[in-house]
Structure 1
Amino acid sequence: MTLGCDCQKRTFHEDCSDQFRQIVARPRSALILYGSETGNAQDVAQEIARLTERLRFDTTVIDLDSIELRDLLKHTIVIIAISTTGQGEFPQNARSFWKVLLSSQLRPGVLRRVNFTTFGLGDSSYPQYNVAHRMLHNRMLQLGAQLFSERGEGNEQHPEGHNGDFRAWIVDLKQGLLQHFPLPEGQDVIPEDVFLEPKWYLRASATRTDASANNQPKTGTSSEVLTLETPPASDLLPIRDSVTADLIANTRLTPPDHSQDVRLLDCRVPSNIDYGPGAVAVVYPKNFPKDVDQFIDCMGWQSMADTSLELVPTVQVSDLATYPPSPLRYLDSSKTAFTMRELLANYLDILSIPRRTFFASLAHFTKNGNEDEGYQKERILELANPELIDELWDYTTRPKRTILEIMPEFPSVKIPWEYALNIIPVMRGRQFSIASGGILKRFEDGNTRVQLLVAIANPPNPIIKLRKRYGVCTRYIATLQAGQQLSLTIQPGYLNVSPDEVDAPVLMIGPGTGVAPMRSMAYERVQWAQENNSKQSSVLFFGCRNEKADYFFEDEWQDLAVEGLTVFPGFSRDQDKPKTYVQDLIRQKASLVYQILERDGGKVYVCGSSGNMPKGVREALSDVLREYGHMELEKANEYLDQMEKDGRYKQETW
């Protein structure tokens, strides 16, 4: 990304600053930007956009890395929603923008004509809570941008997730917008019951699409057994910047009678791709034909389900480069025609938990002709009401009700197929830490190897005991067969491990599938040591439920012992052993841990589930420093804080 001026070096300096100041803002326009790793910040940006549109701002929503810095000055207001990931890192689609914003060649006051505010999404189980948001916000102020409404922050550890804080913040945002940017004379706020025309819509295409050519099955089975269902089609998804991976094996590592189904996916990528420990592969899931058929029937789309459609702008534009981006902009540009069946199978997340804005959109298509229809409309309006967020939580999030499940409860609602991409969330790829590294990164023929350790999400429903719950992506992964191909995108992750640290000992803490990046690091460090003719020392604390069921890669750990790896396992569900978690292991091996941290200047890596685990690990490390370093609690915590600042304590949880 460039800074947007025409000078040869593409930077802001004396020769182009006047040009930068003279950009004229469009009348009453809003630029809503997001930096998002898993999609939460993007969802927040979309909800902010609905507000600004109702306040009659011409609104554009786009990720931070897709704009040039000068674009900020072209709009009346700029609102940024950004998540913090990794160890206080920026999301992948915000890193380039942040790098530009940090340029030392930016003059003070260069953004003084920008009116902005921000909302951050973070997780307080991370030590660097909402750091990316705070750094970006402060840098905008340093460059002269004007704050028109106080920033807000959401915490995923809140009982309602980030929505708990966002609900109050967006009310303040609306007041700030009305105060500082009053509506033009003679115009009012667009009421909630008025349908906002989307930027893009579907229309019948002149190009005929043969549904069979798309390899989309039209029927499913009524079986609830996962392995007996008709699986999704095996065709490749046209994901932009993806690589095609051949699935060599999809092996279940846990016994069939074990409560958790954990798979090791072994993939070959026919190209030379380098990646390091902590890198992730993004898998794009598909919906099952049975679910697609059910949704088509519910919406009454049977007659046009296999009609060729195209996604087009709502208004005629001469230059799409200046128009808000398509909801399917992540697809290869050659993909222009779809059927509704194909959209539902590959690109629309009908098994997601519906958000408030989904019900707000449904309200526009709810009939009110009789008492039952009136009740349905009243119920939808309740679920769309931001002041009744607890009602929405109890109806959708807590029991994990999906869009597919709730639609039959509102039979009077029929979503116009033209607006399907604007109302139903777009399917997002899911990130999985790569488990291969070192000698495991290449096949003998030189092709790249990518291995993923995946826990198939099939938890019992906490409210409705008889209703199955699946993870959208892991359910799809469970059906993949050796010989199939899939589209992957490879991202670097946030551990930032480099060969020059191979001489320093590392303490790796990875319970459950959190051991995947630890395995990658273990093999990588062995290879680095061999290449540098040096020795390496690594300690892994691994926690699982049962020694016989989910002690992943046990044989490999024994083989790697001669290369300097020591593994301490802990089991939390074995009847003949005391219940042991990774934080217990840290305390049990306190002397060794202290030696690695203090005497040897080693590094700590923590990977796995967010929440209690990383908090418990940090408390255990603090206890070790207090016991063996004779530190007070405050001093021990300061020591860990300094380790983070020095890059010696890194955490990647999900």
Structure 2
Amino acid sequence: MTGPFQHNATRTALILYGSETGNAQDIAEEVARTTERLRFNTTVLDLDSVSLRDLVKPTLVIFVVSTTGQGEFPQNARLFWRRLLSGALKAGVTLRKVRFASFGLGDSSYAQFNVAHRMLHSRMVQLGAKVICERGEGDEQHSEGHSAGFRAWVVALRERLMEVFPSDEGALPIAEDAFMEPKWKLEFVRERQGEVKADDGVCPKGTAVLPSSIPHKATNGTTPSVTAVGVNDAPSEDLVPVIGAYTATLLNNKRVTAPDHFQDVRLLDLRVDGPYEYFPGAVAVLYPKNFPQDVQAFIDLMAWQDIADEPLTFTPTTSSQASNTPPSPSPLRHLDLSHTHLTLRYLLSNVLDIMSIPRRSFFANLLHFATSQHPDALYQKARLLELANPDLIDELWDYTTRPKRTILEAFQDFTTLRIPYQYALTTLPLIKGRQFSIASGGSQKQDSQGRTKVELLVAIANPPSPIIKYRRRHGVCTRYIASLLPNQLISIGLQPGYLDVSPAELSTPVLMIGPGTGVAPMRAMIYQRLAWATEMGCRPAGKRLEGDVLVFGCRSSTADCYFADEWRALCEGEGLTVLTAFSREAGREKMYVQDVLRRAGERVSESVVGRKGRVYVCGSSGAMPKGVREALVDVLVECGEGMEREGAERYVEGMERCGRWKQETW
């Protein structure tokens, strides 16, 4: 590892992202690594953190934007987009000094695929900005996810940047295998205060623990010892101090699938003090934690036992900042750490995602800490090179995604590697909040004490692995959710979502398709429509849900038929129609929601065409929403007043354009 490289102070790059779940932010940070190596002084920020004035200052602006909902911008990009749409901005003039590139993340199972990115790109051009690289797009439905499109685009971007912005004479791009000092670094509080002695075993201020100075795996093949911790130990009940989050009390964490069913699905009943207004499609964001035994295992693998509980601070590595870009924000800016005792153990427990599946960029970063001191180290470095090579994507897939191997498990293979503690926060990914559709609505949104009620239907992810059989796979967040106890306090975020329903919709029926846990937002909508109809008096009692149809799919009536008693009561008491599709019901034909739509063709056609009803689709992305769309087109051809197939497809496209078809899938 060598000393830090210098950037060209006059060459600056502003990387801006709009991200709902964190994928666009990850891509933005990878783009930043490319511009840093081309010697641009680089800053990465979410779109809502900048003004339009900030766009004209840097040498280069790069956008990375996800499309969410029905072609909408993520929550942290909406304010920026509204500013960009201002009528006061002059076409061809306002942004004529801006040179930019952009990459979009989307899901082709949505009709509005990557439309937010395309609208942003077009608006920038309309305002006079110059495109320096053809826009790139990733598709979640691709077998390799967004990575496939991104790999090709970032290569083209790098070539264009070298062509359009040549470096000063003699200043070559920084080599991929050269270590670059991050903008932020951890250090011990006592080290910063100058209290470290020569024999403390801690590096002097400003230096890193170099790989060559770290104990490695013995050449006889033994691995570092891992401290035994009770397997039932649960994460700390301390609140994660997320800025803007609410403190919620968990009243109940009830399993709603049969005891002998393979999948554990929970109904969480949460309370937030005071009122908070939300509507169907709203989501709650839960912030998971790692389990103590995994944290201790990681500490042992990194040989951090003696420093894991030492107080830390997080500081910038340089005081200089280009005047024409905003300052680089701290990776911990989303947390209020004013009352937190920051240590490596705290970070591993609450902040660092050591149980996630590692990305290619993670292995590329690890290469900087690899050594060649002995045969084991040489072999492991060669293996890292394979996993970090963008041309060997199958190697990465087979090692990480296919077996769902975690970062912790990867380090149990790469036993000669140690991350210097100073770089833990910039080498390891951060734990991101997970979004869950709120299942409560209408009269269910508040309890008798005036507290906000939030119910979530959550499938606990613990799929078996065909490769790593000695350890169960777990979803990072759902494993944490399964450990939560009644009356426990947790931090949650609350966001409005994208279904955008209103009382005005009561004049038309709705067709709601929600297989599995996709029924959660449909339940919220049913109860909200019932409450609106009651408050407005626009429908008679006993018929307040007449014409509304729920199509629900699950495996069987005894294993995972969520809210069955509620549907029965609403059908009998308020005229709701519920059509069920059981894919594994004993003695019955296998049925899916798209099969039920076709069988109920006359009813579906009357609702969608005859009465101009709305369609809502929620659940797993991919095959399900595409199958539902095809089924609706089939219904319109068979029952839709003589429509040809082309006409039926145009009709559905028209529903999407005018907001009568809305989809929320994950």
TM-score, normalising length from structure 2? Answer: 0.90
**Cα shift readout 1:575-612 (whole Å, capped 9, x = no counterpart):** 21111111011001110000101111110000000000
Structure 2 vs 1, CA of residues 232 and 336 (structure 1 numbering), >3 Å: closer, same or farther?
A: closer
Q: Are 1:564 and 2:565 matched, yes or no?
A: no
8 A contact 1:26–1:76 mirrored in 2: no
Aligned to 2:206: none
Pick from 533, 542, 550 the counterpart of residue 529 of structure 1.
Answer: 533
Q: 1:491 aligns with which of 488, 495, 515?
A: 495
Distance 2:469 2:116 in 1: 40
- Note the alpha carbon deviations across 1:274-327, whole angstroms, 9 max, x for none: 000000000000000000000000000000000010111111369999420111
Inter-partner Cα distance in structure 2 for 1:560 and 1:317:
64
1-structure distance, mates of 2:286, 2:251 = 16
Contact 1:317 1:323 in 2 (8 A): no
Distance 2:81 2:9 in 1: 25
Distance 1:124 1:297, change over 3 A: same
Shift of 1:138: 0.7
Please state whether the residue corresponding to 2:306 is helix, strand or coil: helix
Partner of 2:523: 519
Aligned to 2:523, what secondary structure does the other structure show?
helix
Partner of 2:296: 293
Q: Does structure 1 residue 92 correspond to structure 2 residue 96?
A: no
Question: What does 1:107-256 correspond to in 2, within 5 Å?
Answer: 107-108=90-91, 109-206=93-190, 221=229, 223=231, 229-256=232-259
Pick one of 542, 553, 564 that aligns with 1:543: 553
The aligned residue for residue 617 of structure 1 is 628
Query: What is the CA-CA distance between 1:462 and the residue it aligns to?
Result: 3.9
Residue 125 of structure 1 and its aligned partner are, at CA, apart by: 0.9
Secondary structure in structure 2 of the residue aligned to 1:293: helix
Code of the residue aligned with 1:611 in structure 2: it is: G
2:623 aligned with 1:639: no
SS of aligned partner of 1:127: coil
What secondary structure sits across from 1:531 in the alignment? helix
Aligned to 2:219: none
Match of 1:8 in 2: none
Structure 2 distance, partners of 1:557, 1:340, is 49
Amino acid at match of 1:172: A
Aligned to 2:263: 260
Residues 137-163 of structure 1 show CA distances to partners (whole Å, capped at 9, x for unaligned) of: 111111111000110001111111110
C-alpha distance in structure 1 between counterparts of 2:632 and 2:426, whole Å: 48
Give the aligned residue type for 2:138.
Answer: G
Letter in 1 for 2:659: G
Q: Is 289-298 or 106-115 further displaced after alignment?
A: 106-115
Q: Give the CA deviation at 1:463.
A: 3.5
Q: 2:29 aligns with which of 29, 34, 46?
A: 46
Please give the alpha-carbon distance, in whole angstroms, between the structure 2 residues aligned to 1:519 and 1:71.
43
Match of 2:35, SS state, is helix
How much does 1:465 deviate?
4.1
Query: Matches of 1:204 and 1:544 in 2, distance apart?
Result: 53
Is the contact between residue 238 and residue 335 of structure 1 (CA under 8 Å) also seen in structure 2? no
Q: Do 2:227 and 2:297's aligned partners in 1 also have CA atoms closer than 8 Å?
A: no
SS in 1 for 2:241: coil
What does 1:344-493 correspond to in 2, within 5 Å?
344-493=348-497
For the 8 Å contact 1:278–1:492, the answer to whether it is kept is yes
Q: Is the 8 A contact 1:193 1:364 kept in 2?
A: yes
For residues 356 and 493 of structure 1, what CA distance do their matches in structure 2 show?
31
CA distance in 2, matches of 1:348, 1:307: 17
Aligned length: 616
- Between the aligned partners of 1:65 and 1:362, the Cα distance in structure 2 is 32
Q: What residue is the counterpart of 1:554 in the other structure?
A: 564
Q: Give the secondary structure class of the aligned counterpart of 2:391.
A: helix
Structure 2 distance, partners of 1:369, 1:466, is 31
From 37, 41, 52, the counterpart of 1:58: 41
CA–CA distance in 2 between the matches of 1:632 and 1:153?
33
Return 5+ residue gaps in structure 2 as ranges: 1-7, 194-225, 540-544
46 and 319 in structure 1: CA distance in 2 versus 1, 3 angstrom threshold: closer
Residue 464 of structure 1: how far off its partner (Å)? 3.4
Q: Which runs of 5+ in 1 are unaligned?
A: 1-24, 209-217, 224-228
Q: What amino acid is aligned across from residue 327 of structure 2 in structure 1?
A: Y
Q: Offset at 1:501?
A: 0.9
The share of aligned pairs that are identical, in percent, is: 59
User: Distance between the aligned counterparts of 1:465 and 1:200, measured in 2?
Assistant: 38
SS in structure 2 at match of 1:117: strand
1:22-68 Cα deviation digits (max 9, x unpaired): xxx97100001111111111111011000000000000011111111
Determine the C-alpha separation between the residues in 1 that align with 2:121 and 2:228: 49
Residues in 2 aligned to 1:326 and 1:84: alpha-carbon distance in whole angstroms: 26
Q: Give the corresponding residue for 1:273.
A: 276
2-structure distance, mates of 1:191, 1:331: 34
Deviation at 1:389, TM superposition (A): 2.0
8 Å CA contact retained: 2:380, 2:416: yes
- Aligned twin of 1:4: none
Structure 1 residue 360: deviation in Å?
1.1
Instruction: Give CA deviations for 1:76-99 in whole Å, capped at 9, x if unaligned.
Output: 111111111111111111111111
Q: Is the 8 Å Cα contact of residues 459 and 478 (structure 2) preserved in structure 1?
A: yes
Would the aligned equivalents of 1:26 and 1:74 in 2 still touch at CA under 8 Å? no
Whichever residue aligns with residue 616 of structure 2, its letter is Y
Report the 3-state secondary structure (helix = DSSP H, G, I; strand = E; otherwise coil) of the residue aligned with 2:382: helix
Q: Which amino acid aligns with 1:564?
A: G
Normalised by the size of structure 1, how large is the TM-score?
0.92
Q: Measure the CA separation in 2 of the matches of 1:220 and 1:322.
A: 46
Q: Which residue of 2 aligns with 1:20?
A: none
Q: Which residue of 1 aligns with 2:12?
A: 29
The structure-2 alpha-carbon separation of the partners of 1:220 and 1:455, relative to structure 1 and needing over 3 Å to count, comes to: farther
CA contact (8 A) 2:41 2:322 kept: no
Q: CA deviation at 1:553?
A: 0.3
Cα 1:573–1:220 shift into 2, 3 Å: farther
Q: Counterparts of 2:604 and 2:180 in 1: how far apart (Å)?
A: 58
- Tell me the SS of whatever aligns to 2:551: strand
Q: Secondary structure at the match of 2:371?
A: coil
User: What are the superposed Cα offsets for residues 424-444 of structure 1, whole Å, 9 maximum, x if unpaired?
Assistant: 000000000000001100000
The answer (yes or no) to whether the contact 2:272–2:451 under 8 Å persists in 1 is yes
Q: Distance in 2 between matches of 1:624 and 1:30?
A: 52
Confirm or deny: 8 A CA contact 2:43 2:326 kept in the other structure: no
- 1:513-559: per-residue Cα shift (whole Å, max 9, x none)? 00000000000000000011022431100000111011000111112
Q: Could you give the per-residue CA deviations for residues 432-469 of structure 1, whole angstroms, max 9, x where no partner exists?
A: 00000011000001110000000000111144344411
1:592 aligned residue (600, 603, 608): 603
Distance in 1 (CA, whole Å) between partners of 2:338 and 2:68 is 32
